[in-house]
Amino acid sequence: MSESLRELSAQRSFGGWHRRYGHRSGTLDCDMELAVYLPPAAEHGPVPALWWLSGLTCTDENFMQKAGAHRLAAELGLAIVCPDTSPRGTDLPGEHDSWDFGSGAGFYVNASREPWSAHYRMFDYVTRELPSLLEAALPLNGVRSISGHSMGGHGALICALKRPELYRSVSAFAPIANPSACPWGDKAFSAYLGEDRETWKAWDACELIRSQGCDFALLVDQGDADNFLHDGQLRPEALEAACEDARVELTLRRQPGYDHSYFFIASFIDEHLRFHGRQLSR
């Protein structure tokens, strides 16, 4: 195991292992923690991985504890990698003042505006530093898919759109699909990226799809009782329109009665795991 990756805890789960690690991130210039589920198959050789990006206020622990994904991941022979959602311990001015910005709200972008640009480079962390670190230290074969929820759904979409060579497939639960046109995105992007809205387009899934298309078939689930949907934060209709304009295959499933919680994720995670499993095994 790499000396820079420190095991913090390990629990047996469905014949595999849920492990938490700590390391010093050069990209973020801070200490970070993350979680990895290794299925039983990893004891016999390297396995593919689903990368999961979580939403606002979350850490690496939420999905692993609440989604109920280990059972089927063990059956399919898939690892699950859960990074944290922002840099930690940097104590920048205003970083901890609100739940939807700063700590737990890195938005998976590379910040270009000070003081955030010194640490808030979550895109490079998730797509460059962390894959290299984990695949050198753990039984992961470098074959990846990516998914996420809310802010993490946005992150999954932009990672796959900006670095398509890294992934076999992408899906999302209730993603912030059009962040440059919603209050959460406006707040985060104006601070992390500056006031020039043209620069925001490089971090907005709808704008990326319109400008460059997409070779992936997208799977998105959205609960129709989601309060953030009705508040205009998620904008699946904008994603649907962008995919239609660019002739991108999108399966957008509106799930009756489901909200924004992990009960929603747990209800449909098996279908997403099977969706990714088919691509990861080919």
Indicate which residue of 154, 260, 272, 276 is catalytic.
Answer: 260
- Quickly name the fold that domain 6-280 has: Rossmann fold (3.40.50)
Dist. CA 232–CA 184, nearest whole Å: 10
The one-letter amino acid code at 218 reads L
Is-contact 85 58, C-beta < 8 A?
yes
Dist. CA 140–CA 38, nearest whole Å: 9
Indicate which residue of 150, 169, 171, 180 is catalytic.
Answer: 150
Q: Has 23 been annotated as catalytic?
A: no
Q: Has 150 been annotated as catalytic?
A: yes
Indicate which residue of 60, 84, 204, 226 is catalytic.
Answer: 226
Q: How many CB atoms lie within 10 A of CB 30?
A: 16
Q: Provide the phi-psi class of 188: left if phi over 0, else alpha when psi is between -120 and 50, else beta.
A: alpha
Q: pTM here?
A: 0.97
Asked if omega into 115 is within 30° of 0 (cis), the reply is yes
**Strands 171-173 and 79-82, bridge-based pairing:** unpaired
pLDDT (tens digit, 0 to 9) for every residue of the chain, 282 residues total? 334 899 999 999 999 999 999 999 999 999 999 999 999 999 999 999 999 999 999 999 999 999 999 999 999 999 999 999 999 999 999 899 999 999 999 999 999 999 999 999 999 999 999 999 999 999 999 999 999 999 999 999 999 999 999 999 999 999 999 999 999 999 999 999 999 999 999 999 999 999 999 999 999 999 999 999 999 999 999 999 999 999 999 999 999 999 999 999 999 999 999 999 999 998
At 243, give phi and psi (nearest 5°). Answer: -65, -40
